Every structure is written in C-alpha cells, then in structure tokens.
Chain A
Amino acid sequence: MSYFYRMKYAWFICILLIVSCKDVDKVPSSLWDAQEYDETEKDITSEIALNQDWIKIVDYEGLAPLLAKRNDTTYVVNFWATWCRPCVKELPYFEKINEDYKDRNVKVVLVSLDFPDKLEKQVIPYVQKNLKSEVWLLDDADANGWIPKISETWSGAIPATIIYNKNKRTFYEHSFTYEELKKEVESIL
C-alpha cells in the first residue's frame, strides 16, 4: 500500500514536470501527430476519444508503464484486434481468467491494435457487447519502434500476450486454449 502511494506521488510530480517543460520538449503523441499528417481523414476525433470511457487510448509512451509495474498484481496483457480471428476466439478465455482469478490479484488488460478510425463503429460496439476486462487501444504507428521494446522476439503477429508480475515475465506469440492460458497463469502465481 505504502509503495503504491509513493509511486502515485512520484508520478504526479513526474506529470507536473513533463507538462511544465512541454514548451521546450514536445511530448510525442501519435494521436496529435496523426491529425497533423492528415486533416481530411482523422484517426480519432477528440470528441470520440473523450466522450467514451470504454477504451483507454494510448501511444507506446502511455502503454509502457502498464508493462513495467512492480506490485503484487500479476498482469495478463493481451494484444488483439477485432479483425483478428484467432484473437477474438481466445478473448473469452482471457475474460474467464480475469473473472476467476480476481481474488488472486490477477488483472487482465486487453490491448487492441485496431485502426483508430474503426474505434467508434467497430471496436467500442464489440467491447460493449463482449468484454468486461479493461480495454486499451494502442494508437502508435511506429510499430518498428515499439514492437522490439515489448519483446525482442515478437515478429509483430497477433495474438500476442505478456504474463508478468514482479518476479517473472513471459512473452507468448501464439493463441491459447483456456487450459493452456490457465496453466501459464497458475505457473506464475
């Protein structure tokens, strides 16, 4: 608990400082960049991005802290997309893990790699209908930059999953059955 509070305090300061030096040092954001690149075909209108709380939209910089937490929780982070058939097939297993292992400090986060222009019509309706776990959307075009940071061995194919806690971290570039996923989660607890 005290660790968490300390971190919270530190992050607050960090954000303050980053914001305070924004004039000198532009904080990169693919969301803004995308709008600069193409005025006619906006990825996400700020309206859609702001007026929904189903999905947290981040660039890699925003995602990175999720993959580097050092607390008592075990994180199961799955990379998926609505158009990815094997991903959609295994999502119920992740949902079940999130539900069944809640009491054992396991948290599932589903990171969508859908194109941001599909957010309103495709991703949000799917999430509303099917998912209870926390859903993020990674809106960052520089895949060659962030894929190796997530895992050196990741070719970029999805589904892909990271299961980690403060003691161990494993990256998987393949689909799971429920039994396989359960076994991996059990092995790290």
Chain B
Amino acid sequence: MKTSFKLIAVAAVMALSFISCNDKTTAKDIATAAVVVSDKISEAKPINTKGYGIGDAATDFKLKDVDGSMVSMTDYKDAKGFIVIFTCNTCPFAVASEERIVALDAKYKDLGYPVIAVNPNDPNVQPDDTYELMQAKAESAGFTFPYLYDADDKVYATYGATKTPHVYLLKNEKGKHIVKYIGAIDDNVRKANAVKDTFLANAIDELLAGKVVSLKETKAIGCSIKV
C-alpha cells in the first residue's frame, strides 16, 4: 500500500515536471497549483468591507494642504479627473514612490489628471506624520501637488484605503468623480528602474484615449494606515 502511494506521488510529480518542461509552464505555476489544492479558505474579519469599488462615484473632500489652503476637487475647474493617492511621510513604500508620484503629476496634470495626495495617518499613532513633518516632506521631496492632511480620518475610510501608498484614479463624468482604477502605481515599488508594467499610467492613458481601463485593480504591499 505504502509503495503504491509512493509511486503515485512520484508519477504525479514527474508528470507535472514533464509538463513544465514542454509547455513552458513555470515552477511558479506548480507552486500555485499546490496552494489551490489547499482546503477551503474561510476568510475571517476582513478589515475593509466598505469603501469604493470600480464605477462608484467618489465623494469630494475639503482638506488642509501643507501651504495652509483648503483643497477640494471642485477647485479644479478644467480637470478631466484626479489621481488621488493616499500616502505618508515615512513608510518605505511611500518614500520609494515619491519621485514616481512627482513624475506622474508632471506628466498628467497638463493632460487633465492632476495628483492629489492625502496623508491618512493619525500623528498621535504615527508621530512621523504630523502636519509640520508633512510640510517638511512636501518641501524636501519637491511635491508639485497638494499634500492634504486627513485630519478627521474620514476621507481614507470613505474611499476604503487600507495602506500607503494606495491609488484611486477618478474620472469626471458629468460632475461625478467615477472610480476607474484602484491599487498600485506600478508593478515594482522597490525599484523604479525594474518596472515592467505602469498600471496607473496605463489606466490614465486609456482614459485619455477614450478607452475603458483594462486593468482596473491591482495589489501591492503597503504600510497599514495608522489611526
């Protein structure tokens, strides 16, 4: 009995490996198959049951910028939409994204999609995210866009952001800000020069070309929002 089991196991593995040689299936697929085989998954206590999905109309906000002014989406009369990015001062993923966010604003502001960055962290929980340190960050990182302080922690919760950085691409459709893309800036937070797929830029380009966004949601590791 024992031997026959062994033979079956070996035969199965050999078959898998054989397929991987011939059909260019990668070892990654085998590993994935192993995960899928696992028992039924019960997901308990999902942290984010609310928040926006694709196609929802996002609410406007009125939050204080690092220059002291109050900023709302309605202030932008000519915007075709917005790149709303929840980010913060010191999360390594946020810091690694700073230059890319500045570059996105430089490219897409003139095309009608300006960046609006929002810091959702509560400085009482995350002392690196006080309003003063946000001002210092905007200065040192050369932010060319509003960097807003989500003082009441309401905006991030309404949007459903769970981490920094977390992007929401909005398109203005008859005065409503419709969510068109949610997720990551690109496929490699760690190394800008190793990026293969610029998810967010692709989505904006598609909107500008009058197309439907093809990849609507992506995932990335980020720092959990601290409130």
- Complex contact B220–A166 (CB within 8 A): no
Contacts between chains A and B (CB distance < 8 A), count: 176
**Is the C-beta of B59 less than 8 angstroms from some C-beta in chain A?**
no
- Complex contact A169–B41 (CB within 8 A): yes
* CB closest residue in chain B, given A14: B13
Interface residues as binary, B1-13 with A (CB distance below 8 Å gives 1, 0 otherwise): 0100110011011
Which residues of chain B come closer than 8 Å to A32, judged between CB atoms? none
Task: Please tell me which one of the listed residues B17, B21, B27 contacts residue A28 in the complex, with CB atoms under 8 A apart.
Answer: B27
Task: Please tell me which one of the listed residues A28, A37, A171 contacts residue B193 in the complex, with CB atoms under 8 A apart.
Answer: A37
- Complex contact A61–B193 (CB within 8 A): no
**Contacts known (A167-B39, A172-B44); A143 close to B189, Cβ less than 8 A:** yes
Which of A5-13, A46-54, A94-102, A123-131 has 4 or more CB atoms under 8 Å from chain B?
Answer: A5-13
- In the complex, A154 Cα to B221 Cα: how many Å? 9
Number of interface residues of B (CB under 8 A): 60
- In the complex, A148 Cα to B217 Cα: how many Å? 11
Interface residues as binary, A30-74 with B (CB distance below 8 Å gives 1, 0 otherwise): 000110011001000000000000000000111011011010000
- Complex contact B43–A170 (CB within 8 A): yes
- Complex contact B42–A168 (CB within 8 A): yes
- In the complex, A18 Cα to B5 Cα: how many Å? 22
* Main SS at interface, chain B: mixed
Which residues of chain B come closer than 8 Å to A61, judged between CB atoms? 26-28, 31
**Is the C-beta of A186 less than 8 angstroms from some C-beta in chain B?**
no
- In the complex, A9 Cα to B10 Cα: how many Å? 8
Determine how close the nearest CB of chain A comes to the CB of B113; give it in whole angstroms. Answer: 21
Name the residue among A6, A86, A158 with the largest chain B CB count within 10 angstroms. A6
- In the complex, A129 Cα to B5 Cα: how many Å? 44
- Complex contact A60–B31 (CB within 8 A): yes
**Is the C-beta of A174 less than 8 angstroms from some C-beta in chain B?**
yes
Which residues in chain B, 86-134, are within 8 Å of chain A measured between CB atoms? Answer: 91-92, 126
* CB closest residue in chain A, given B163: A157
- Complex contact B92–A68 (CB within 8 A): no
**Is the C-beta of B190 less than 8 angstroms from some C-beta in chain A?**
yes
**Is the C-beta of B70 less than 8 angstroms from some C-beta in chain A?**
no
Determine how close the nearest CB of chain A comes to the CB of B31; give it in whole angstroms. Answer: 3
Determine how close the nearest CB of chain B comes to the CB of A62; give it in whole angstroms. Answer: 8
- In the complex, A85 Cα to B225 Cα: how many Å? 11
- Interface residues in chain A, defined as those with a beta carbon under 8 Å from any beta carbon in chain B: 2, 6-7, 9-11, 13-14, 17-18, 21, 24-25, 27-28, 33-34, 37-38, 41, 60-62, 64-65, 67-68, 70, 81, 83-86, 113, 115, 141-144, 147-149, 151-159, 164, 166-175
For the complex of A and B, the 8 pairs showing the least CB-CB separation, nearest first, are A64-B31, A17-B17, A157-B163, A147-B219, A21-B21, A37-B194, A157-B224, A155-B162
Besides the contacts A10-B12, A157-B221, what 5 more A-B pairs have beta carbons closer than 8 Å?
A: A17-B13, A17-B21, A67-B35, A141-B187, A156-B220
